[in-house]
Amino acid sequence: MKIIEQMYVDGAFVAPHGDERFALFNPATEEKIGEVRLGDAQDARAAIAAAKRAFPAMRRTTPAERIAMLHALRQAVAASADTLRAAMATEYGAPQSFLAFSVPHAANVFDVAAKTVADYAFTRRVGNAEVVMEPVGVAAAITPWNSNIGFICTKLATAIAAGTTIVIKPSEMSAIQTQILLEALHEAGLPDGVLNVVNGYGHLVGAELSRHPDIAKVTFTGSTTTGREILRSAAESFKRVTLELGGKGPQILLDDADLDRAIPHILASAFRNSGQACIAGTRLLVSRQSHAEVMSRLAQAVSALRTGPSSDPASDIGPMVSARHWERVQSYIRLGQEEGATLLVGGEGRPDGLDRGWFVRPTVFSNVANDMRIAREEVFGPVLSVLSYDTEAEAIAIANDSEYGLQSYVLGTDAERMRGVARRLETGRVVINEAPAGTQAPFGGFKHSGIGREFGSFGLDAFLEPKAIIG
Ligand code: NAD
């Protein structure tokens, strides 16, 4: 049983003022594995005050000094890879494929930020003006449970790159992972107050960060509903905001696609991280003429997926994060049937042979219409909706007919044609044939999937204010 009693403020692990305890579970066994003591609004204010005190010195640092900090952070996270991996497996139940990506990713984001700083023009000439890119002020970050470590590291790396200080409120459901990460980050020896982390509920700690006048910038990753609330409170003091929100990613399977290659890509995108991924491609668009063949191959491939605990390296799909989230995914599987979609494979309840753990049967619905809720709402589980199209133009129209616009996928063989389709899609990223994710390319959403971009120079821009000195 892991008991976490402290928050991290002003360079030290200290007891919070709040004293409510939050239980932590292993989602594969439903066993309680720990408890975290949650901070409250007073703790958030103490962390903001520490970040504010540290800001003047941080803003005076040179790019070279910040690159050195980023390298130290990278080393510290890389050195803890094994313990981080174990914590993510136990507390979150992520399949090995996701762990293999996400732990190295958490370390690499510091390298990417260091490279971005090295290449970035903090001072530029524009006409007769000298434009200086200055840190925006104290930042606050709020992260979701589905990629807690990755987003803590991305947001911290960008704050350091910009020369600012930060207060982070991680997901309360990921406190064991946060604690192990923090112990690693502490080893990097950042100046006191540059990094502050307060565990707590969103409506208390998160809300205080979103409204406090000493926070200049909020960077949030989470649901669209919470993002809207944060945007409202941030408006009062004109905070700069970066919002990375939900998605309902379309996958357009063009009629020239090689199905032997495309089907594994479709499954990887749809069921990535057990379907608990904002970028999951959960709406598959298939041409009517290849519908029958694609459905038969999909049914076969999905039935062959293995659902199980993280400890089994053969597991393709892990458990849902909580009992509540399991219920929510079940309710969408029921809803799909009530709405008249055809249940191709999967369905309600646990997969055969698993009588414990918040496991869901990987599910595919065919004959889905784009006005059904299972085509419009984010399920956040291994549930794929298949829609049919007659023409490429119709496929693009269906793909774009969504409130979301985070990441889409195009699968085919003709590179020019796929680029043509990609140019017409309204999403922050378009992935062609499951190309590897770029680490410097901007990441973020159109429409209700968010505001602003993270990663690389676009992510850094969002932590800076341009100041023009004229004459
Ligand atoms: P969530 O919105 O419920 O919670 C996210 C964070 O916000 C948590 O730390 C939570 O405590 C906090 N929070 C809750 N209410 C708050 C409030 N009123 N004020 C301030 N903070 C508050 O989301 P979640 O369930 O943790 O994560 C899943 C969601 O995140 C999905 O919708 C997913 O698509 C999205 N997501 C988006 C991206 C992206 O990059 N676009 C990446 C990962 C996850």
Smallest CA separation from ligand 1 atom 42, residue: 278
437: pLDDT strictly greater than 90: no
Q: What is the pLDDT of residues 156-205, one digit of tens each?
A: 999 999 999 999 999 999 999 999 999 999 999 999 999 999 999 999 99
As a whole number, mean pLDDT of residues 430-451 equals 92
Question: 250-439: which CATH number, 3.30.1490.20, 3.40.309.10, 3.80.30.20, 3.40.1050.10?
Answer: 3.40.309.10
Q: What is the CATH number of domain 2-245+449-470?
A: 3.40.605.10
Look at 25-39, 94-108, 129-143, 362-376 and tell me which has the smallest mean pLDDT: 94-108
Longest dimension (CA), the chain: 74
As a whole number, mean pLDDT of residues 443-467 equals 98
Query: Alpha-carbon distance 443 to 101, whole Å?
Result: 17
Q: Please tell me the distance between residue 330's alpha carbon and the centre of ligand 1 in angstroms.
A: 20
Mean pLDDT over the full length of the chain: 97
Pocket test for ligand 1, best of 171, 218, 219, 226 (most atoms within 8 A of CB): 226
Radius of gyration of the chain (CA): 22
Q: Please tell me the distance between residue 318's alpha carbon and the centre of ligand 1 in angstroms.
A: 20
Pocket test for ligand 1, best of 98, 102, 142 (most atoms within 8 A of CB): 142
438: pLDDT strictly greater than 80: no
244, 392, 426, 454: which is the annotated catalytic residue? 244
For residue 318, the model assigns a pLDDT of: 97
As a whole number, mean pLDDT of residues 331-337 equals 98
153 is catalytic: no
Instruction: Tell me the domain boundaries of the chain.
Output: 2-245+449-470, 250-439
For residue 436, the model assigns a pLDDT of: 80
377: pLDDT strictly greater than 90: yes
278 is catalytic: yes
110: pLDDT strictly greater than 90: yes
As a whole number, mean pLDDT of residues 241-255 equals 98
Q: What is the pLDDT of residues 43-88, one digit of tens each?
A: 999 999 999 999 999 999 999 999 999 999 999 999 999 999 999 9
Q: What number does the ligand 1 atom closest to the CA of 222 have?
A: 30
For residue 357, the model assigns a pLDDT of: 97
Say if CB 141 and CB 114 are below 8 A apart: no
For residue 97, the model assigns a pLDDT of: 87
As a whole number, mean pLDDT of residues 368-392 equals 98
For residue 434, the model assigns a pLDDT of: 80
233: pLDDT strictly greater than 90: yes
The tokens of 386 are what?
Answer: 């298949």
317: pLDDT strictly greater than 90: yes
For residue 22, the model assigns a pLDDT of: 98
Smallest CA separation from ligand 1 atom 43, residue: 278
As a whole number, mean pLDDT of residues 200-215 equals 98
Q: What number does the ligand 1 atom closest to the CA of 200 have?
A: 11
For residue 191, the model assigns a pLDDT of: 98
Residues with Cβ within 6 A of ligand 1?
142-147, 169, 171-172, 201-203, 206-207, 210, 221-223, 226, 229-230, 244-247, 278, 378, 380, 406, 445, 450
Q: Please tell me the distance between residue 246's alpha carbon and the centre of ligand 1 in angstroms.
A: 9
Query: Alpha-carbon distance 27 to 32, whole Å?
Result: 9
Q: Please tell me the distance between residue 148's alpha carbon and the centre of ligand 1 in angstroms.
A: 10
β-strand 12-14 against 20-26: which pairing, if any? unpaired
Q: What number does the ligand 1 atom closest to the CA of 209 have?
A: 20
278, 378, 392, 454: which is the annotated catalytic residue? 278
Reported pTM: 0.97
